[in-house]
Amino acid sequence: MNSGKKVQANSTETLKKVLAVIGRYRLLLFFSVVLAAVAAVMQLYVPILFGDAIDLVAGKDAVDFAGIGRILIWILALILAASGMTFIMNLINNRLTYRTVQDIRAKAIRRIQVLPLSYLDAHSTGDIVQRVIADTDQLADGLLLGFSQLFSGVVTILFTLGFMLSKSVEITLLVLVLTPVSFLVARFIATRSYTMFKKQTDTRGKQTALINEIIGNEKVVKAFGCEERVSGRFSKINEELRKYSQSAVFFSSLTNPSTRAVNNVIYAVVALSGAHRILSGALSVGGLTVLLSYANQYMKPFNDISSVITELQNALACAARVFELIEAVPEPRETDHVLTAGEGCVDIRDVSFSYDKSKQLIEHFSFTANAGTKTAIVGPTGCGKTTLINLLMRFYDVDRGEICVDSQNIAGITRHSLRRKYGMVLQETWLREGTVRENVAFGKPDATDEEIIQACKDAHSWSFIRRMPEGLDTVIRDDSLSQGQKQLLCITRIMLCHPPMLILDEATSSIDTRTELKIQDAFDTLMKGRTSFIVAHRLSTIHNADNILVMQNGRVIEQGNHDSLMAQNGFYTSLYNAQFAGLEAG
């Protein structure tokens, strides 16, 4: 009960937010609702006029042509007005929904750019995409159109009742009493078919899992010659699904015929009692026509409203998800101070940080990287290597302590001015769907072709770019490049920007060792004279670092260059030997 109230409160809250978003279209929404209601009333009044006209067609030589003519002109005017209004309302609704969706999405993408990475890392990509795309659509369709449908539905029911009452009170009451029967029938069928549906869903889920497992690993199935055996397995579950599906499909398709039958019975009852009332002079034939056509349509708004309400609930849930995203707390505003140009000396002073504040990660970490030096960070998975990179780039802010670049605390300068100083290459090679040129010039969109080609040559990527079908203008698709080529493009991207500092985070671990050796050349060119941080798990790549930080559980446990660390015969030595153990083993 309590939670129900809370949900209610949240829904109201969400609704208010939606209204705030459509603020500039408030007038449109108002017109939409008014037009819907007016058009509904007009459309309801038309059958009454037709009924009146029919009354004037009493029999041979008893037709009032003048009266009919007047009524028909009225009808013509009404239907013209009603259809005109419906058209305008449709246009308004279109504009309302599409513009709202556009606005919300624009807000969402802006928010995504300023959200802290802690938020983005904690939410799956699929989930956020779902919010920006599907949930937003649902919000607009369900909420805005739902409003207008709900309102016109209520208006329709009220006016239908009013018009029916004006024709015959008794028959109206009769219809009112009988209507719930069709709801009961629908409910009865729904509960009966629910169990069947559940079984169908479960079995279908199992079957999908099997399909994923078998078809997803079809090559293994073929390698073991098990095709017939898996077909047998599939057949078993497929037959089970047939059984449940047949019942589920059948039972669920009974709802419409059943409610239709109830409606038909109501129709018959109206016809019977109406005829009797005509005989007693309390109703005209035209009046009966009106009642019959209302009795036919009466159920429709009820069904509409119940589906609109489900839709509305769904839309509200989506809206809540959308707002959760566009109202997520952005990164704190920053001062306007810009990092002044320097040589690129990085000073980490007594820094503590952890993602999950209940668990310690980096504790009292201090280190100075002098300008132009090469610092390698090594250690087992989860020791905090990548975290350090996140802090250097200010993807995350430190909990305590400070990081200074050229003696300026990075917490006090704009993120952009800091990040422009770094070139970063990550293990995951992110390239966008676009041309080679767009990708290479990502950090410097106004680069000339000469600059781009020079960067490509420096990064050793020109030889393969040149051979691509359209050179720099070749569109890169997901699998058109090898892992090594992708990484070379990422390096080229940096090469073009000439940043004074470099970060390489496991940049070569998805590449085989021989290719790595070739790329290493490009890296060496890149690192020349730049302050560089290299995270690596293959120790062979960091031999010539000026400084190697060996990390474990967020702490630096050893520090020095390769030779001095090997001489210590400590953790680094054991890491190093573990990697080359195969040698002695042979």
Partner 1 sequence: MKKLLTFLTKYRRESILAPAFKLSEALMDLLVPLVVAAIINQGIANGDTGVILRCFLILILLAVLGMGFSFTAQWFAARASVGMATDLRQALFEHIQRLTYSELDSLGTDTLITRMTSDLNQVQNGVNLALRLVLRSPFIVFGAMIMAFTIDLQCALIFAVAIPVLAVIVFGIMLACIPLYAKAQAGLDRLLGLTRENLTGVRVIRAFCGEQKEIDEFDRRNAALTKMNEFVGRLSALMNPLTYLLINVATIFLIRQGALRVHLGALQQGNVVALYNYMAQIIVELIKLASLVITLNKSLACANRIEKIFDVQPSLQYAEKTANGSMDAPAVAVDGVCFTYTGGGAEALQDISFTAGRGETIGVIGGTGCGKTTLVNLIPRFYDVNAGTVQVDGVDVRKYPEGALIQKIGIVPQKAVLFEGTIRENMQWGNPQATDDEIWKAIDFAQAREVVEGKQGGLDAVIEQGGRNLSGGQRQRLCIARALVKTPEILILDDSASALDFATDLRLRQAIRSLDGQMTVFIVSQRTASVRTADRILVLDNGHLAGVGTHDALLRECPVYQEIYYSQYPDERPETGKEAAK
Restricting to residues 377-396, name those near partner 1 by CB under 8 A.
Answer: 393, 395
The type of residue at 423 is: G
Report the residue from 221, 345, 371, 468 that binds partner 1 according to the rule CB under 8 A: 221
Q: Should residue 99 be labelled a site residue for partner 1 when binding is judged by CB under 8 A?
A: yes
What's the number of CA atoms in the CB half-sphere (13 Å) around residue 563?
2
Distance CA 69, CA 63 (A): 11
Size of the site for partner 1 (CB under 8 A): 144
Q: Which stretch binds partner 1 (CB under 8 A): 26-34, 206-214, 350-358, 370-378?
A: 206-214
202 vs 213, beta carbon nearer partner 1: 213
Name the strand (E) or helix (H) holding 357.
none
What string of H, E and C letters represents the secondary structure of 504-527? EECCCCCCCHHHHHHHHHHHHHHH
The DSSP 8-state label assigned to residue 142 in this structure reads I
Q: For partner 1, which is the closer residue by CB, 34 or 214?
A: 214
Mind giving me the DSSP string for 400-448?
A: EEEEEETTEEGGGS-HHHHHTTEEEEESS----SEEHHHHHGGG-TT--
Contacting partner 1 within 72-91 (CB under 8 A): 72, 75-76, 79-80, 82-84, 86-87, 90-91
Please, are residues 522 and 511 in contact by the beta-carbon 8 Å criterion? Answer: no
Listed ranges 153-161, 303-311, 350-358, 577-585: which one lies at the site for partner 1 (CB under 8 A): 577-585
Least distance CB 246 / partner 1 (angstroms):
5
Site for partner 1 in 484-523 (CB under 8 A): 484, 493, 497, 511-517
What would the x/- binding string for partner 1 be over residues 427 to 466, using CB under 8 A? ---x-xx--------xx-x---------------------
Q: Residues 216, 342, 382, 412: which binds partner 1 (CB under 8 A)?
A: 216
* In the complex, least distance from residue 512 CB atom to partner 1, rounded to whole angstroms: 4
| Dist. CA 75–CA 145, nearest whole Å | 28
CB 17 within 8 A of CB 107: no
User: Least distance in Å: CB of 63 to partner 1?
Assistant: 4
505 strand-pairing partners? 426, 535
Distance in angstroms (rounded) separating the CA atoms of residues 4 and 210: 39
The dihedral of CA 277, 281, 285, 291: what is its sign? negative
Minimum distance from residue 458 beta carbon to partner 1 (Å): 18
Residues 103-142 within binding reach of partner 1 (CB under 8 A): 105-106, 109-110, 112-114, 117, 120, 125, 128-129, 132-133
344: left (phi over 0), alpha (psi -120 to 50) or beta: left
Interface positions, 395-424, toward partner 1 (CB under 8 A) = 395, 415-416, 419-420, 422-424
Which stretches of 233-273 are assigned E, i.e. beta strand? none
**Using the rule CB under 8 A, which residue among 9, 77, 249, 309 binds partner 1?**
249
The interface with partner 1 within residues 289-328 (CB under 8 A) comprises: 289, 292-293, 296
What are the tokens at 45?
A: 């009044």
DSSP 135: I
CB nearer partner 1, residue 38 or residue 292 = 292
Q: Is 27 in the site for partner 1 (CB under 8 A)?
A: no
Stretch that binds partner 1, among 27-35, 312-320, 338-346, 538-546 (CB under 8 A): 538-546
33: number of Cβ within 10 Å: 19
Residue of the chain from 15, 38, 68, 371 that contacts partner 1 (CB under 8 A): 68
